[in-house]
Amino acid sequence: MSPQIRESEVAEQWDRNADVWTDQVRNHWDIFREHWNNPAFIEFAGDLSGKTVLDAGCGEGHNTRMFARRGARMTGVDLSPKMIEFARTEELREPLGIRYERASFTDLANFGKDSFDAVVSTMALMDGPDFPGAIREFALVLRPGGTLAYSILHPCFSTKGFGWVRDDSGRAIKFTVADYFNEEVWID
Q: Would you state the pLDDT for residue 1?
A: 36
**Mean pLDDT, rounded, for 155-176:** 74
How far apart CA 137 and CA 140 sit, in angstroms, is: 5
**Mean pLDDT, rounded, for 43-61:** 96
How far apart CA 110 and CA 32 sit, in angstroms, is: 33
Q: Which is higher by pLDDT, 15 or 41?
A: 41
How far apart CA 115 and CA 184 sit, in angstroms, is: 37
Task: Report the candidate in 142, 71, 144, 69 with the shortest Cα–Cα distance to residue 105.
Answer: 142
Cut 0.85: pTM above it:
no
**Percent residues over pLDDT 90 in the chain:** 56
**Mean pLDDT, rounded, for 89-105:** 97
- For the chain, list the domains and their CATH numbers: 7-152 (3.40.50.150), 157-188 (no CATH)
How far apart CA 104 and CA 140 sit, in angstroms, is: 14
Q: Would you state the pLDDT for residue 46?
A: 94
**Mean pLDDT, rounded, for 78-93:** 96
Q: pLDDT band at residue 27, thresholds of 50, 70 and 90?
A: confident
Strand segments, DSSP code E, in the chain are 52-56, 73-78, 99-102, 116-122, 142-151, 163-166, 172-176
